[in-house]
Amino acid sequence: MSLAREGLHGKIALVTGGSRGIGAATCRALAAAGARVVVNYRESKDAAADLADEIGGIEIMADVADHDQVQAMVDQVLADLGGLDILVNNAGIAHDSLIYDMRPGDWSRVMATNFGGVFNATSAVLPHFMARGAGVIVNVSSVMGERGWIGQANYAASKGAINAFTRACAMETARFGIRVNAVLPGFCPTDLVGALPEKDIHKQIPMRALADPEQVASVIRFLAGPGAGYVTGSLVTVDGGAMTALGLGRAR
C-alpha cells in the first residue's frame, strides 16, 4: 500500500456535484487514495451510479441549493456509513449574462447553488465534525471569485463569497480540529467552460493550456490528507498562472 493510499485509508468523503468534471475527477482521486466516496448528484443519476460502481462508493441525490435535501443527505451518509471525514463542496452552475441584461432568477439560482450550496453542506456536517474533533472541508471556488469576468457577475460573486466564507469558517472551526480551504481552478475543460472559444482562453493563461480536472483533483486530494495538516484558511490557485495575467494583458 502506497503512502498516498494510507493517507486517506478508512476515511469517508462526500463530494457534491460529483458525477462529472472536477467533481468526478475528485471522487476518483480520493478513492484512489483509499477513501470511501459518496457521489452527490442532482440530475445525472446514471453517471453518478456508474462512477460509484467504478470507485466502490455510493451515490446520493440532493439539490445543494435546498437545505433540507442537503441535511437529509448528510444524515443518510452518517447512518449508512457510520461517519464522515471529508466534505468537498464542488457543485456549481453558471447562467452567464451581462449585468444589465441579467434576470433576477439567473442571479438568485447561481448564488443559491454555488454559494448557498457551500453553506448548506458545511452547516450540515459541522455538528458531526465538531463532536468528533476533526474534519476537512475543501471548497471548489474559482479564480473568477478574485478577478471577475465579463458576463459572469453572478458566478464571480458566488465564488468571491465562497472565498470569504472559507476564511471565516476556517477561523471559527480551527479550535475544533477542523480544516477549511478552497481550491481556485482557472479554466478547465468542463461544461461550464465549454461554451467559450478555447483560443481566446489560451491568451489569458501564461502556460497556454487548460487545466485537466485531474490536476485540480490532485490538489483537492492533498488538502484533504494529512500532508496538509497545518493548512487552513488558504485559497489555492490551480490556474496555469492566469491570476497573474487576468486584467493585465497577455504575455507575449
Listed in sequence order, the residues at least 6 apart from 187 whose beta carbon sits closer than 8 Å to its beta carbon are 193, 196, 201, 204, 205, 210, 211, 239, 240, 242
Closest CA to 194 of 207, 213, 214: 213
Starting at the edge strand found earlier in the chain, the sheet holding 12-15 runs: 58-61, 36-41, 12-15, 86-89, 135-140, 178-185, 235-238
For residue 25, what is the DSSP state?
Answer: H
122 touches 76 (CB < 8 A):
no
Active-site choice (41, 100, 155, 230): 155
Active site residue 155: yes
Q: 236: helix, coil or strand?
A: strand
What residues are labeled active site? 155
